[in-house]
Amino acid sequence: MGIAFAASILNFVVLTASLSAINSDVFGVGRMLHGMAEQGSAPKIFARTSRRGIPWVTVMVMTVALLFAVYLNYIMPENVFLVIASLATFATVWVWIMILLSQIAFRRRLSPEEAKALKFKVPGGVATTAVGLVFLVFIIALIGYHPDTRISLYVGFRLDCAAAGWLAVENSPRPPAGAGTVTLPPRLPDLAGALSTPHYPPPIIPVMMSHPPVGCGKVCPF
């Protein structure tokens, strides 16, 4: 094009777009995790906020994730873009798979009357949703087919299994407070020990009196 500084302009645009995306990821994803934690869909630690209402825990988590991406760029600069792009692709496709599965489960729970009352119906119904699922599974297969992008499946499925395990433990029924404790009755006195111990009357100690009362001997038992 004959513009000597075209490369500098393009670099400026790319860097500005990257900073904008990073800013939206840090605060947007941070707020999303904070909301999920308040609803019970994420660990409670993500619901912590500062005095000004900033979800500092989620912001720190996103910051660590971004720093990890910088570390990947340092150790594998040739493949870091492909790895991150494949991870983002897997995450997007997996989210849409969950959306389509949720739509199928939602329609199955509706009665015929409720299905007719829907204001918006998916063209083709469940068949269209099934076709979309097949296409998304095909994309997942392509990601796993290429060795350069296969790592996203390893990381993605492990994260999904960890999240599913956490949800299973978090939503599992728990016994009510105090269900495993046994309340003992008040302790009764040891009757057997009390009966087996002999009780003697107090001994009578003779007291020597210098002037005993009239009618009493020199030794009086009282």
The span from the CA of 3 to the CA of 141, in Å, is 43
Asked if residue 50 and residue 22 are part of one domain, the reply reads yes
In a domain, 64, yes or no: yes
Asked if residue 125 and residue 110 are part of one domain, the reply reads yes
Asked if residue 127 and residue 66 are part of one domain, the reply reads no
- Mean pLDDT in order along the chain per 10 residues (222 residues): 74 87 84 89 88 89 88 85 87 92 87 82 83 93 88 88 84 66 56 52 53 52 47
Asked if residue 82 and residue 163 are part of one domain, the reply reads yes
In a domain, 16, yes or no: yes
Give 177-219 pLDDT, tens digit per residue.
555 565 655 555 554 555 555 555 555 555 555 555 555 554 4
| Spatial CA neighbour of 93 closest among 61, 126, 135 | 135
Overall pTM > 0.75: no
Encoding tokens for residue 206? 């003779």
In a domain, 222, yes or no: no
Asked if residue 61 and residue 103 are part of one domain, the reply reads no
As for how many domains the chain has, the answer is 2
Q: How large is the angle between the packed helices 151-170 and 80-109, nearest 10 degrees? A: 40
Q: Which of 147, 169, 191 is the last residue of a domain?
A: 169
In a domain, 69, yes or no: yes
Give 44-65 pLDDT, tens digit per residue.
899 998 888 888 999 898 889 8
Q: Which domain holds residue 140?
A: 77-169
Encoding tokens for residue 11? 């670099």
Query: Do 103 and 129 form a contact (C-beta atoms < 8 A)?
Result: yes
